[in-house]
Amino acid sequence: MGLLDSLASQVLGGGNAQNTLMTAVMGLVGNQQSGGLSGLVEQFSQKGLGDIVNSWVGTGANLPITPQQIQQGLGKNTITQLASQAGISTDNVASQLSRLLPQLVDKLTPNGNVPEGDIMSQGMNLLKGFLK
């Protein structure tokens, strides 16, 4: 079992709802219409969470984020949409994302910056590892 498989097991625990949530999150970071990963980083920064999200991108330790801060960063509509897609509560989505998102962003930015180009391909490769 690879690092990302282990991470997915620890964070998500497995199950259809968790796989659906992971797929939806990859859609967020891969959606070029909303700016993709750089748009997500910018969105968190604009909502006062720049220090936290920048720690995930940087090469140092990842700062933790609370479920409430996840809701603040992503917005209520996005959390509600993710919950609906995964078939779980908004509180559960925020809780799982508070553990998953820092690690996912960290793995997508191994050199300490948001990569240019097709982040979706990188994300899909990570997703395949999470879903094994």
The model's pLDDT over 77-127, given as tens digits with 9 standing for 90+, comes to 999 999 998 889 999 999 999 998 998 889 888 888 887 654 545 545 555
**How many angstroms separate the CA atoms of 112 and 123, rounded?**
16
Q: Indicate the domain borders of the chain.
A: 3-127
The CATH code belonging to domain 3-127 is: 1.10.10.690
Cα 25 to its chain centre, rounded Å, is: 5
The model's pLDDT over 8-63, given as tens digits with 9 standing for 90+, comes to 444 445 556 667 787 777 777 777 777 888 889 999 999 999 999 999 999 999 99
Name the pTM for this structure.
Answer: 0.75
